[in-house]
Every structure is written in C-alpha cells, then in structure tokens.
C-alpha cells in the first residue's frame, strides 16, 4: 500500500513556489515537494537562508517580501521564465500589516 500512496503523491514535472521557505515549516515543505519530484522555487526575505535551502534541494531561490506587490510579481515572472509554469503555491510566509486604527 505504501508504494501506491507514494506513487499517487508524486509531483514529477510540477513546479512549486514556497514562500517563507528559508526555515521552519517552509523549509520542510520545500524539501517534501522536492523529494516528491517537484521543481521548487524557494522564496523568503533572507537571501542566505533561501539560497541554502535551494542548494540543498536543487531548487531555485528568489528573494521576496510577500508584503511587496512588485517583489511578488517578480517571483512569478522569474518562475515562469525559468520553468515555464507554476503548478503549486504554498503561502507559508507571514506578512505583517499595520492596523487600520
């Protein structure tokens, strides 16, 4: 049964973007997706961390603050340029916004 489940969960040929992928849950998610066969774009604010994760999983690192619309657009433009598509988006990063009060 385990082999059938693993086979069903394969992501070969898929492209995933993981925000907040430099540490914690985002890093673990990026690793799981890569292990399942996906090409992974690792994003985050800390270039050193995302590059380290991307190197570890043979992924692609793009620095991005998800609260900055222009940077988010750049991530998608770059992912489309490099891989030709995006199949999965994992919004793991946290963006702090000021209260409207």
Q: Could you state, in chain order, the average pLDDT of each consecutive group of 10 residues for the chain (101 residues)?
A: 70 97 97 97 98 98 96 98 97 75 62
For residue 88, the model assigns a pLDDT of 97
Q: What tens digit of pLDDT does each residue of 44-70 get?
A: 999 999 999 999 999 999 999 999 999
Give the pLDDT of residue 99.
Answer: 65
Is the CATH number 3.40.50.720 carried by domain 2-90? yes
pTM of the shown model: 0.88
Domain borders along the chain are 2-90
In DSSP terms, 48 is beta-bridged to none
C-alpha distances in angstroms, 7 versus 12, 22, 89? 10, 27, 21
Contact 40, 16 (CB under 8 A): yes
């Amino acid at each position: 049964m385990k082999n059938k489940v693993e086979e069903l969960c394969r992501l070969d040929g898929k492209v995933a973007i993981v925000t907040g992928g430099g540490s914690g849950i985002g890093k673990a998610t990026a690793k799981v997706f890569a292990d399942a066969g996906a090409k992974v774009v690792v994003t985050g604010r800390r270039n050193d961390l995302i590059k380290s994760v991307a190197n570890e999983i043979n992924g692609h690192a793009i620095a991005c603050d998800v609260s900055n619309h222009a940077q988010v657009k750049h991530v998608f433009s770059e992912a489309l340029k490099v891989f030709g598509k995006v199949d999965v988006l994992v919004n793991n990063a946290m963006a702090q916004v000021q209260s409207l009060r």
